[in-house]
Amino acid sequence: MSAHHHNEDIQSLYEGDQSKLYSGIMNHHTDINSQESKKQIKRIWAVTGLLSIVTIAEVAIGLGAYYAGVHNNLIITIFLILTLVKAAYIVKVFMHLGDERKNFVFAVLMPLSLFIWFIIAFLADGSFWLHMNKTQADTKKVEQVSH
Amino acid sequence: MTQATTANVKAERWSGGQSPYNVSYGKIMMWFFLLSDALTFGALLISYGTTRFASEVWPNPNEVFHSFPVISSLTDTPLPLMFVSLMTFILILSSVTMVLAVHAGHYGDKKGVIKWMLFTIIGGICFLACQAWEWTHLYHTGAWWGSFIDAPLDTVKHLFDFSKPGVTEALAVNPGAASAATHDFYNYFFTITGFHGAHVTSGVILNIMLLVNTVNGVYERRGHYEMVEKVGLYWHFVDLVWVFVFTCFYLL
């Protein structure tokens, strides 16, 4: 691919508006009614259906758990997994990240792994603060007594 | 193309004169901006989680959010999760119409782009209207930034689920915890949904600008609809954030 990129006629496209190179010249789609186009549209609606079903499932589980008085780690895990499934489909199909080159997909997704540490660390912090407040809240009184 | 080794191909890819990602500069920058915005929203949501974990008691979202426009003024039956589910569907559908607009743009179908952009804008405005109703309704129950500071337990008792283990005991020892938690809850709710709403608003404005440009033939002359794609990425991000806000505030 790089061998083609030094011709005079498209050199001007590198300066300034690069988008012409990656969306204008490279795109060869012309017929919105073609089979290829119809297939892509079908896929979009299929993912829409999936997102709707997952959302309905989340709401159903939420309501069911509320009326049954259940709220435990299993329910929380289910919600998080379903939410991540929705997020994955939106990013992969709607935002077309699934169609991009692999090195770009990684460039976008790798920084998000920071969230893994972020979430664990701060929820652990919160629990620790609760524990400290419950067991160490009267240290001030203890200090006053020892003077 | 000569017989390039893997190392040579990599060096060529990053030697300039082409995008190493095979994506235009503008699109790359939009993705990187979305990454930064994701970390900002992540910080807000994780902060909410930390405060919640550090609190002995916390309002039950099914008790806080149980109203629906019009229907709730006709019946006393609580309708938990219903209105927010409607809002989620509206935003997801507007995301779908945006994808279809981008698709039409790929095929140079100007009429299709106009049609789907119109639906997207309407969807965005509907979502904002719903959020405005939710905010107004909550405001009329006394909720706002800085509300429920040192409020008597009776004014916030209805927001808590006493069948949950530990709640009754915790409030017997420290009744002020209910008011403090309610205060924190509403501060986070209005801040995070407000910040998200600001993104939706700016997204709607950008979409309107896209529509005007499309109608005027700006992208037709340019030869591609990549601008629709880039703003589409922003719009999908807004939808993504809502998916997480919905989960954190209403489900977990």
Contacts with A, B 9-48, CB within 8 Å:
12-13, 15, 17-28, 31, 35, 38-39, 42-43, 46-47
First to last CA, chain B: 55
Name every chain A residue with its beta carbon within 8 A of the beta carbon of B54: 125-127, 129-130, 133
Rounded Cα distance between B233 and A100, Å, is: 13
User: Hey, is B152 helix, strand or coil?
Assistant: coil
Do the chains contact at B21 and A103, CB–CB below 8 Å?
yes
SS3 content of chain A, % helix, strand, coil (to 5): 80, 0, 20
**How far are the Cα atoms of A49, A54, B213, B221 from residue B25, in angstroms, in the given order?**
33, 35, 21, 20
pLDDT band at A1 (very low <50, low <70, confident <90, very high): very low
Chain A nearest-CA distance from B107, in A, is: 5
Distance, CA of A61 to CA of A78 (rounded, Å): 9
**For residue A127, pLDDT beyond 70:** yes
Angle at A97 between CA A94 and CA A100, to 5 degrees: 135
Residues 49-68 of A with CB under 8 A from B: 51-52, 55, 58-59, 62-63, 66
pLDDT at B73: 87
Domain residue extents for chain B: 22-251
Residues from chain A contacting residue B224 (CB–CB below 8 Å): 19-20, 23-24, 27
Identity of the amino acid at B210: L
Structure tokens at B146: 């800085």
- The shortest CB-CB distance from B25 to any of A18, A29, A87 is to A18
How far B58 CA lies from chain A's nearest CA (Å)? Answer: 13
Q: Compute the distance between CA of residue B133 and CA of residue A134 in angstroms, rounded to an integer.
A: 39
Token pair belonging to B166: 């530990």
Tokens at residue A79, please? 């919600």
Q: pLDDT higher for A28 or A23?
A: A23
Report the mean per-residue pLDDT for chain B: 92
Give the residue carrying structure tokens 């050199």: A11
pLDDT tens sequence across A70-105: 888 899 899 999 999 999 999 999 999 999 999 999
- Provide the pLDDT for residue A96: 92
Q: Does B8 touch chain A (CB under 8 A)?
A: no
- Two structure tokens written together for B193: 């949904």
Architecture per CATH, B22-251:
Up-down Bundle (1.20)
Chain B partners within 8 Å of A84 (Cβ): none
Dihedrals phi, psi of B62, to nearest 5 degrees: -70, -20
C-alpha to C-alpha distance for A117 and A114, rounded to whole angstroms = 6
- What DSSP character marks residue A97? G
Answer yes or no: are the C-beta atoms of A53 and A92 closer than 8 Å.
no
Distance CA B28, CA A51 (A): 26
Total CB pairs under 8 A between chain A and B: 186
Whether residue B216 is predicted with pLDDT greater than 90 in this model: the reply is yes
Q: Does A38 touch chain B (CB under 8 A)?
A: no
Residues in chain A: 147
Q: At what angle do helices A73-89 and A35-68 cross, to 10 degrees?
A: 160
Of A55, A91, A122, the CB nearest to B49: A122
pLDDT digits (tens, 9 = 90+) for B132-183: 999 999 999 999 999 999 899 999 999 998 888 888 988 988 889 999 999 9
Q: Which residue has the higher pLDDT, B242 or A69?
A: B242
Residues of B numbered 45-64 whose beta carbons fall under 8 angstroms of chain A's beta carbons: which are they?
46-47, 49-56, 60, 62
> Comparing C-alpha atoms, which of B43, B215, B48 is closest to residue B117?
B215
Q: Give the per-residue pLDDT at A36.
A: 87
Q: What is the mean pLDDT of residues B110-122?
A: 97
Q: What is the pLDDT of residue B124?
A: 97
Cβ distance of A48 and B96 shorter than 8 Å:
yes
* Cβ B83 vs Cβ B134: under 8 Å: yes
Partner residue facing B108 (CB), from A30, A87, A111: A30
Classify residue B78 by its DSSP letter. -
**CA separation (Å) from B99 to A25, A37, A59, A95, B113?**
21, 13, 25, 8, 10
**pLDDT the model gives residue B101:** 96
Note the pTM of the prediction, 2 decimals: 0.89
